[in-house]
Amino acid sequence: MKNPIERIFAVYFSPTGGCKKISQKIGFTAAEMMGLDLEEMDLTNLASRKSLHEFSKGDLVFVVSPVYASRIPNKIVGDLAVCLKGQGSYAVPLVVYGNRSPGDALNELRSVCQGAGFSVLAGGCLVARHAFSDDIGRARPDTADFEEYRSFVADLGEKLKEDDLEPITLPDDYEPEPYYKPLKEDMTPAKFLKAKPKTDESKCDQCGICYRVCPMDSISRENYSDVPGICIKCQACIRKCPQGAKYFDDEDFLSHVAMVRNNFTRRADNIFQLYI
């Protein structure tokens, strides 16, 4: 059978750049192998998630999301379910975790893609540097990861040549596993749901980058130190502030970061699955 793919897309929600990097690497690898161009779609900005993005039969769409607390970010998953319309196109959901655990995030994103009308051919749980600390998943993805990506894409490409592309699907009554409950260094519950980033006024030069990169539009346009909206702890404002003026000082949050750093610095594995 001739490869049915006519267009390839990398669609990602990527506040700190890990998902973008991985989606580009895998997307470009697939495009190169299939002799096609890669089209990118960045859903990090809130406005982009409020628009409808439609695909067609013959499209191969890599849908990439970070893992938060063993799931797709709870304030983002609903947007993805509404803004993507598969219309019989092919999807490969990929979830990116920061070296701790992917939890049930892949099945959750797979379910979202199925519900949006995609035929889900494969999926993966991939490791990247943790948004909270460079010491967790340091320097991931690396060249060894890239080789695994290439093997995965090659396996998918071979499967696409087969006559039967009817994928194994999740049951209609699928429900995701519960969210991971974060822990402090002493392994008691860490409660930082309401924590928000602070601003070191002595460093802030009022550039407005934090306001522009917040995926929830939660930072005030009039006062960049004010965060009236919901904070999902994505770290975009902290990672992208050129002056290093943004930070968290919530004790439970900082203790949780220390706990993850103390317990999850081993080299975690990428996981790949084919559903055809």
The average confidence (pLDDT) of the chain is 96
pLDDT digits (tens, 9 = 90+) for 131-157: 999 999 999 999 999 999 999 999 999
pLDDT digits (tens, 9 = 90+) for 14-72: 999 999 999 999 999 999 999 999 999 999 999 999 999 999 999 999 999 999 999 99
Q: Do 94 and 128 fall within a single domain?
A: yes
∠ CA 215-219-221, nearest 5°, is: 115
41 burial type by CB count under 10 A (0-12 exposed, 13-18 middle, 19+ buried)? middle
Strand-pair partners of 92: 62
pLDDT digits (tens, 9 = 90+) for 248-275: 999 999 999 999 999 999 999 999 999 8
Say if 113 falls within a structural domain. Answer: yes
Query: According to the model, what pLDDT value does residue 167 have?
Result: 82
Q: Do 150 and 210 fall within a single domain?
A: no
Q: Do 172 and 204 fall within a single domain?
A: no
CB atoms within 10 A of CB 74: 11
Q: Do 160 and 224 fall within a single domain?
A: no
Total domains in the fold of the chain: 2
Say if 13 falls within a structural domain. Answer: yes
Tokens matching residue 80? 């993805």
Q: Do 83 and 131 fall within a single domain?
A: yes
Write the DSSP symbol of residue 70.
T
30 burial type by CB count under 10 A (0-12 exposed, 13-18 middle, 19+ buried)? buried
Helix pair 18-34, 143-159: axis angle to 10 deg: 50
Q: Which residues contact 51 (CB under 8 A, 6 or more apart)?
A: 83
Q: Please, what's the largest Cα pairwise distance for the chain?
A: 63
Question: How many CA within 13 A on the CB side of residue 46?
Answer: 13
pLDDT above 70 for 1: no
In terms of pTM, does the model score above 0.85? yes
Q: Do 119 and 218 fall within a single domain?
A: no
pLDDT above 80 for 165: no
Residue type (1 letter), 111:
S
Say if 114 falls within a structural domain. Answer: yes
Say if 204 falls within a structural domain. Answer: yes
Split at pLDDT 50, 70, 90, the class of 216 is very high
- Domain range for 206 is 198-249
Q: Do 124 and 206 fall within a single domain?
A: no
Q: Do 171 and 239 fall within a single domain?
A: no
Q: What is the CATH number of the domain that holds 217?
A: 3.30.70.20
Q: What is the CATH number of the domain that holds 59?
A: 3.40.50.360
